[in-house]
Structure 1
Amino acid sequence: MSAEDNPTAVPVGAVLEASKAMLLKQLYAIFTQPVNGLGPVFANMEEHLNFQIGLEKEGVMFAAGPMWTDDGESWEGDGLVIVRATSREAAIAIAERDPMHKAGARAFRVRPWLINEGTVTVKLDYSSQTFSMA
C-alpha cells in the first residue's frame, strides 16, 4: 500500500527524523505463504532450510522461522525471513533464490523494516562452554 492509498500514511523522512536518536537499522522482511497447500512446502523443505542456513553463514540472514496460527496451536505454512540487504530490490532477489519460491511452493512479499528499539541478551558460560539467549 502506498502513501497515496492510505491518507493516514506518514512519509518515511518524518519517521526517520522522529527516531533519529535510535538505531535506524534498515532490514527487509520477507513474508512467505503456501501457494498450493503444504505438500509442495514439505517437498521443498530440505533445500529451503539448506538455503536459509547458507544465508545465515553469509551474514545475510538476521532471523527466520515459521509463523504459527493466531492461537499458537498449528502451522499453515506461513514463514517470516528477515534479511540484511542494500535495497528492497536486493531483498526480492534473495527471496527469488529460495528453492521454496523457485519451485512455486510458496509466494512471498517483501517489506522494508526499520529496527529502532529492542535488545538481545546472550549468556555465555565459560566453564561449560554453553550459551543461551533470553
Structure 2
Amino acid sequence: MPKWNDYMSEARSRGALALELFVVQSVPAGDGADVKAALPDHLAYQARLEAEGVLVFAGPMSDESGEMMEGMGLIIYRAASFEAARSLAENDPMHRAGARSFTLRRWLINEGSITLSVELSGQNVSLT
C-alpha cells in the first residue's frame, strides 16, 4: 500500500486537484440526553469553526435506507495536518462530553464539481 504523501504526489503529477480534507464520522456514544445536553455548545463550536474557515461541511446522515436518522453525523474540516484535525474533533463539545465518539480519516479530493449560485436581490444561495 502506498503512503499517503506518495499517493498525494502521484495524484498531483496526474493533474488531479489532490485537495486534502479531513472527514469525521461521529456516532452517539451515550444516551440521547447526553447528546441533547451537549448540542448548544456543539453548534456554537461548529459556528466558530465555520467563521474561521476550518469547517467545510457538517450535518446528520440517514441510515442505509435513506429513510431513518440513526444519529450518525459527518463533519469535514480543513486542517494543516491529521493531528490538527484530530484536535478539532477531540475539542468538539459532543466528543469532549462523551456524548458521541468519532473516527477520523484523510480525504483526498481529486474529481467532482460544485456549483454555487448567489442571487443577491433574491437573497438566495444554492449549492448543487
5 Å-filtered alignment, 1:26-41, equals: 26-41=20-35
- Pick from 35, 38, 42 the counterpart of residue 44 of structure 1: 38
Correspondence for 2:90:
96
Give the gaps of 5 or more residues in structure 2: none
| Contact 2:26 2:74 survives alignment (8 Å) | yes
Structure-2 separation of matches of 1:104 and 1:14: 34
Correspondence for 2:119:
125
SS, match of residue 104 in structure 1: coil
Shift of 1:127: 3.6
| Contact 2:11 2:110 survives alignment (8 Å) | no
Structure-2 separation of matches of 1:39 and 1:27: 31
Give the TM-score of the pair, scaled to structure 1. Answer: 0.84
| Contact 1:41 1:77 survives alignment (8 Å) | no
CA deviation digits over 1:53-98, x for unaligned, max 9? 1110000001111111111122122111110111111111011111
4+ long deviations beyond 6 Å: none
Aligned pairs, number: 126
| Pair 1:105-2:99 in alignment | yes
| Contact 2:62 2:68 survives alignment (8 Å) | yes
Shift of 1:111: 0.7
| Pair 1:55-2:49 in alignment | yes
Aligned residues with identical type, % of pairs: 43
SS, match of residue 112 in structure 2: coil
Structure-2 separation of matches of 1:59 and 1:100: 20
| Contact 1:30 1:82 survives alignment (8 Å) | yes
Moved more, 12-21 or 60-69: 12-21
- Pick from 10, 16, 21 the counterpart of residue 17 of structure 1: 10
Structure-2 separation of matches of 1:62 and 1:15: 20
SS, match of residue 44 in structure 1: helix
